[in-house]
Amino acid sequence: MSKHYLQLAASVALLIVTTPLYAQTCVVAFPEQNGSWATVEENQFGGPLINSADQIFAAAKMEVAHHPVEPWADVLKKFENGKIDILAIALRSAEREKTMKFVGPWLSYHWGPFTLAHTNPNDLKHPTIGVNRALKNVQPIPTYLTRLHGNPDWDTPANLVNKLSSGKIDIILGEREVINRQASINGLQVKELPGTDMRMTAYMAINPSSACMKHAETLDRAIRDWKKDGGHEQLITAVAELN
């Protein structure tokens, strides 16, 4: 066996050993939710939510590609058909566990209705409710509106706080940290109505038939490390400052 052949064989063996196992690109879909949590402009993905998720994927040594933003029903269908490997945000349920491998959780929401501090809730029979427009496609919002017997006014948190101050709306429905920050900026005292808050926990979901399933344990560990290092608190702060 020639010396040249041995050198070639050694080079090939080294290439095989050092080739990353995570070279495959995983297609990731984010919810159709522009504004405070995620921004998508001309296929350039950014914003606190997407940036935080990308940090987690990088820590897990995963190569990802962002799927174009589409309605949730279309995204879910492509996920089921194998065209999307990972849902960046998914709510866990016994039914969904049959078709999704959940990792995390990595994101927690605390939503609630807020009024001016001096408002008597008993006076709010059919209130006008200002809702963060970035939450328009979030499933719990219709439940909130039904509970409060109100008519929605979709706008940014900053504008909604101004409308609350001027009496144009009676209630703001939104994420606690965001609303409290905007109220503080405007020197406004608000209170959260009791008994109607909602806490939600979001996971990442991997298609069990996808080759990206091999990253499940690593991704779950990367999420735990991200949270341990204060990633979730930094994300919520970034969202509040953005609004």
Is 179 a domain residue? yes
Domain that holds residue 58: 21-107+201-242
Is 57 a domain residue? yes
- Is there a contact between 83 and 181 (Cβ–Cβ < 8 Å)? no
Provide the CATH number for the domain around residue 45.
3.40.190.10
Distance of CA 63 to the CA centre of its chain: 19
Looking at residue 47, what DSSP letter applies? S
Q: In a structure prediction context, what are the per-residue pLDDT tens digits for the chain, which is 243 residues long?
A: 555 544 544 444 443 344 444 458 999 998 765 444 555 554 556 678 888 999 999 999 999 999 887 777 888 999 999 999 999 988 888 999 999 999 999 988 787 888 999 988 888 877 888 987 766 666 667 777 777 777 789 888 888 889 999 999 999 888 787 788 888 888 899 998 876 667 778 899 999 999 999 999 999 999 999 999 999 988 877 776 665
Is 2 a domain residue? no
Q: Is the pTM of this model over 0.85?
A: no
Structural domains of the chain, count: 2
What is the number of other CB atoms lying within 10 angstroms of the CB of residue 193? 16
H helix runs in 60-152, sequence order: 72-80, 140-148
Is 14 a domain residue? no
Same-domain status, 221 and 102: yes
- Is there a contact between 145 and 129 (Cβ–Cβ < 8 Å)? yes
CA-based R_g, the chain, Å: 23
